[in-house]
A = this chain, B = another copy of it.
């Protein structure tokens, strides 16, 4: 029934465009599910910020604004609320007293672990219901999925940079 998933061989009469359509629909719908399932106790941007800090270590407010694709005042506010929760701390850079370095705390790391477990629970459960062959195919694609996330991250920075420039050069069209 489902199209013989032999790792990269079985690509038959489907055009890339069709594949793209299918992919987009599936991704689109998974997104919708993801949204409805995700805990609402913290904004996606805050979670993503926490995740970035966890992966890359302490970052400036402005760096976070760029990487998360939100404005600097938003990050200031978001960091303030993460500080209230004890998930990050604000450190000063002795070399430049204007900057605020934001670092994740142990509590922040713990929160991230719990959160991820909760969010992925249903996906993990779903993956277990797949056949062995399906699961294997998915496993084979995992590194690519991770790559794709990096690519998407990159696209977001680019895109937001562009949007920002455009707004500056066309103040009110």
Contacts and interface: CB of A to CB of B under 8 A. Distances in A.
A51 interface: yes
Most buried by B among A30, A47, A116: A30
The secondary-structure label for the interface of chain A is: helix
A149 B136 CA distance: 17
Interface string A26-37: 111111111111
A32 B51 contact: yes
Nearest to A17: B128
Interface in A119-173: 119-130, 132-149, 151-156, 159
Given A27-B31, A27-B120, 16 more contacts: A3-B136, A4-B136, A5-B143, A5-B144, A16-B128, A20-B127, A21-B120, A21-B124, A23-B142, A24-B119, A26-B148, A28-B34, A28-B119, A37-B152, A122-B159, A130-B147
Interface of A: 2-8, 10-11, 14, 16-17, 19-38, 44-45, 47-48, 51, 68-69, 116-117, 119-130, 132-149, 151-156, 159
